């Protein structure tokens, strides 16, 4: 454990990605106290105020306001709450379902592997973005529908990778030794193989979080995520696109946050893979 912790702390990508995500979590948890104003508070007299430092800026509106006079900084901070909620819950559930099926397929093989693999092939034949839009349209808008859509689509990503890793681990000497001792198949799978597959799953979860943030933003952009009363980055991008010539900052702020968040999750995932995989540490 101590060796793995040292490896994590020595990995720059983990420091950068994890540090930014930690900052984002703090902003999301304490958004009502950190945000300068209520993100839903409107003042048409203050519409499309530019960010601080530009001509026409008003004190207290660091990133300016949108066309309804709402503070952009406050909306960006509150938008992190939905983004992270979807990222953590959707990625966790997708990892749980996909990893379980991948372990079963890679370890038991035979008809179990055949059924699961064919299911994955059929599921991955559908375009993911179009399928997510279709699922949310059927399930109805709301954060629960967005999470369900991401889980239903992206469990296949975990299943394929974990299955391949389980197949590789099953050929190694420590598994042969465990069989010789007389351990049951379930014991070998959970106590011997799973700990060695865990670093791959952890790295995949981080990457999936970035994907979930993008999917939520896309669904918000087309109006299929949470209600319009809840600030989200995708909805802000959609709004900013319509007033880009009057208030480009309304579009730029959520775009930058979306880019940095996805980059941080990707860097964190790659760093975790490098730090936790003993083969890559050599």
Q: What is the pLDDT of residues 66-99, one digit of tens each?
A: 988 899 999 999 999 999 999 999 999 999 999 9
- Is 256's pLDDT higher than 50? yes
Q: How far apart are CA 208 and CA 203, in angstroms?
A: 9
Q: Could you give the 3-state DSSP secondary structure of residue 59?
A: coil
Confidence band of 282 (pLDDT split at 50, 70, 90): very low
Neighbours of 136 (CB within 10 A): 21
Q: Which domains does the chain have, with CATH numbers?
A: 2-281 (1.10.3720.10)
Q: What is the pLDDT of residues 149-190, one digit of tens each?
A: 899 888 998 999 999 999 998 888 888 888 888 888 888 888
Q: List phi, psi (to 5°) of 71.
A: -70, 120
- Is 2's pLDDT higher than 50? yes
Q: How far apart are CA 78 and CA 38, in angstroms?
A: 9
How is residue 45 annotated by DSSP?
A: G
Q: What is the pLDDT of residues 181-236, one digit of tens each?
A: 888 888 888 888 888 888 889 889 999 999 999 989 988 888 877 777 789 999 99
Name the E strands within the chain. none
Confidence band of 1 (pLDDT split at 50, 70, 90): low
* Cβ-proximal residues to 26 (8 Å cutoff; 6+ apart), any chain: none
- Angle of helix 110-123 relative to helix 143-170, nearest 10 degrees, comes to 140
End-to-end CA distance of the chain, in Å? Answer: 17
């Amino acid at each position: 454990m101590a060796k793995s912790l040292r490896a994590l702390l020595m990995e720059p990508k983990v420091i950068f990605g994890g540090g930014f995500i930690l900052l984002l979590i703090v902003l999301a948890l304490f958004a009502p106290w950190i945000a300068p104003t209520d993100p839903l508070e409107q003042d048409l007299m203050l519409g499309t105020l530019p960010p601080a430092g530009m001509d026409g800026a008003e004190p207290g509106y660091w990133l300016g306001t949108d066309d309804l006079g709402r503070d952009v900084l406050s909306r960006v901070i509150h938008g992190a709450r939905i983004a992270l909620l979807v990222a953590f819950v959707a990625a966790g559930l997708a990892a749980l379902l996909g990893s379980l099926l991948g372990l079963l397929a890679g370890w038991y093989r035979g008809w179990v592997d055949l059924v699961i693999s064919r299911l994955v092939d059929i599921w991955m034949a559908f375009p993911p973005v179009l399928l997510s839009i279709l699922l949310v349209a059927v399930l109805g808008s709301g954060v629960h529908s967005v999470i369900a859509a991401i889980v239903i689509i992206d469990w296949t990503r975990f299943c394929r990778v974990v299955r391949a890793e389980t197949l590789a681990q099953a050929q190694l000497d420590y598994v042969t030794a465990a069989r010789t001792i007389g351990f049951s198949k379930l014991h070998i799978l959970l106590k011997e193989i799973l700990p060695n597959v865990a670093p791959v799953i952890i790295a995949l979860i981080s990457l999936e979080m970035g994907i979930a943030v993008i999917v939520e933003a896309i669904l918000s952009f087309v109006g299929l995520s949470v209600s319009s009363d809840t600030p989200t980055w995708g909805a802000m991008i959609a709004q900013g696109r319509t007033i880009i010539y009057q208030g480009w900052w309304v579009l730029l702020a959520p775009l930058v946050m979306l880019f940095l968040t996805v980059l941080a999750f990707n860097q964190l995932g790659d760093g975790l893979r490098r730090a936790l995989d003993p083969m890559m540490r050599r």
